[in-house]
Structures are given as C-alpha cells and as structure tokens.
Amino acid sequence: MNQGMASLARSPSAMSITRIPQGHSKILQLLKASKVPYVLPFRRVHIRRSPVCCTKFPQWEPSPATYALTEKAGDKFLDKSSELFETLRSESSDSKDEASITKTEDRTDTTNQPVAQLQFLKWPLWLLGPSVLLGTGMVPTLWLPISTIFIGPNVVSLLSLIGLDCIFNLGCTLFLLMADYCAKSKNLGQASKSKPPVSYQFWNLVATLTGLAIPLMMLFGSQKGYLQPQLPFIPYAVLLGPYILLLSVQMLTEMLTWHWESPIWLVTPVVYEAYRVLQLMRGLKLGVELSAPAWMMHTFRGLVCWWVLILGVQLMRVAWFAGFTARAQRQQSSASADA
C-alpha cells in the first residue's frame, strides 16, 4: 500500500491530476518512515450535469412556442417590425388627417352659412346707402326755402346753415359705413384692406388745402382793408363758415380712411366734393340776399369752378382705378393658369 501511494506521489500522471502541496511532502516522508497508512486528500471534482430535455409532452399540455432566430431571420424580423410600426403610424396619421378634414369641412359649412346670410343682407344696402345720402344731403338743400333757413346776417342763420351741413355729414358717414361693408370680400377670413398711393394722398391734400386757403386769404384781406368794400365778420361767417367747417371734416375723414386702409378711400372725396358744389351754389344765393361785395361773389364763382375741376379729376381717378384692378385680375388669372 505504501508503494502504491509512493507510486501515485511519484508518477507524472498522478502529478498532473493532483498537485501535492509543499507542506504535505514532509508529512509523506514521515509516513514512509513510520509506515502509517495515509490517504491523499483529493479535491472535489464538480461534474456538470447535462440537462435532460424532453421533447414529448402530454396531450393536455400545449407545446411551448420556440423562437430560434438566425442572423438573417433576425434582420428580417426587425424589418418586418419596423414595417409594422410604419403601417401603424401611417394608419394613425391617416385617421388624424381624415379627422382634421372632417373638422375643416364642418367649420367651412358652419362659416359659409353666416357668410351667405351676410351677403344676403348686403343687397338692400346698395339702395339704402344712396337713399340716406339723398335724403340727408340734397332734399333739405333743394326743397327747403331759403327764408326758413336764412333770417339775416346773424348767428341764428349761421347755426341753421351749420345744422344742415351736420345732417348731411351724418348721412354721409352712414353711407360710407355701408359702402365699406359692401366693399369687403365674401370670405371674411381674407383681408380687404386697400392702401391708396402716396401720390394720390399728396395731390388730395394739395387740393383740399388750396380750397381752404382761398377763403382764409379773403378773410384776412377784408379784415386788413386790402379788399374793398370791407365785409364784416358775421356775414362772412354766414357765407363761408359752413364751407370751412365741412372741408375740415372731409380732411379728417380722408385721413382716417387712409389710416384704416379702407376700400372707400376713393369714394370719400367724391361724395364730399359733390355736396360742396351744391353748398357753394347755395352761398351764391345767400350772397345776393346779403348784398355781398363783388370780390366775394367772384370768390364763390372761383371756388365752384375749382371744386368742379377737382371732382372731375377724382372721377378720372375712379376710372383709372377700375382699369388698374382689371389689369391686376388678368395678370393674376394668367399666373394661376401658368402654374
């Protein structure tokens, strides 16, 4: 037994299997000398047990789903999954688009109904607006006798004449509001602003300031004695006071239409200037009643001629603007046809 143990300790195969530590070598030598049996301490060898897989299952137990993916199959699976997500996204986007389309259609249907109603309400305004302008501007001036308006060269006559012009100004304001409402586009979402050219604004201001400067110069010359016979202030105010006041109101109204970019900027001076010619013709009749000097009567005639000229220029601008709008529409239609 000692020989077998020594052979195990010396054999290279045993040394390759188990390695004896250095501390045990001395113990072995003592054991050889004492001849006491000794068992070498072997290390525990852990044996890996291979799992036993049973491929056969009972009938009542379903077979588990196995997923064995190769590299190519994995790529295909990822591609398919991405395609699946893309289809889901496309379906969700399509559903959102359909929902948005239905919402927009509902909105357009709901908005088109009030627009159609508003367009229906615009039709009477084409007759109501000019009727208001006629009733407030022309009827009092043409049908009321001068004796009921003009009592004499006093403040009462001045206030009565200013009252007539205020009635016209009220009717003119209503007419311009109706015209602005009718000039707006059918689609309320579109902007219907119209800005006049700078040249138009400049020449309009020049014409208005010229018509305002002429009577003021006559008043200054009369008060300084440059014009004879001299005209007192009250008769002068009765003759030209309403004219100056209404001209100032016209300037303010035109500036507001330019600032708001209203499409009625081309109509406003025509309405006021047509009434101004009638106002000056009334002043000629009052000048005869007051026995006004000759220079005042010539001033009235010159103002009538001036505003008739300006009114003709305004009507020419209306014709120019109509042609300009027609050309712009043609260019827009040709551009849309080319696109």
Q: What is the pLDDT of residues 263-320, one digit of tens each?
A: 899 999 999 999 999 999 999 999 988 889 999 999 999 999 999 999 999 999 988 8
Q: Could you tell me the two tokens for 32? A: 């050889």
**Quick one: average pLDDT of 33-58?**
50
**Quick one: average pLDDT of 132-154?**
84
Q: In terms of C-beta density within 10 A (0-12 exposed, 13-18 middle, 19 or more buried), how is residue 269 classed? A: buried
* Claim: this prediction has a pTM higher than 0.75: no
**Quick one: average pLDDT of 85-109?**
53
Query: Radius of gyration of the chain from Cα atoms?
Result: 54
| Helical axes 294-338 vs 198-224, angle rounded to 10° | 170
Q: Give residue 9's pLDDT band: very low, low, confident or very high (50, 70, 90).
A: very low
pLDDT tops 50 at residue 74: no
Q: Give residue 225's pLDDT band: very low, low, confident or very high (50, 70, 90).
A: confident
Contact 255, 200 (CB under 8 A): no
**Quick one: average pLDDT of 160-187?**
88
Token pair 């289809």 is at which residue? 87
Amino acid at 80: K
Distance CA 242, CA 248 (A): 10
**Quick one: average pLDDT of 12-35?**
49
Contact 303, 280 (CB under 8 A): yes
100: left (phi over 0), alpha (psi -120 to 50) or beta: alpha
Of 140 and 159, more confident: 159
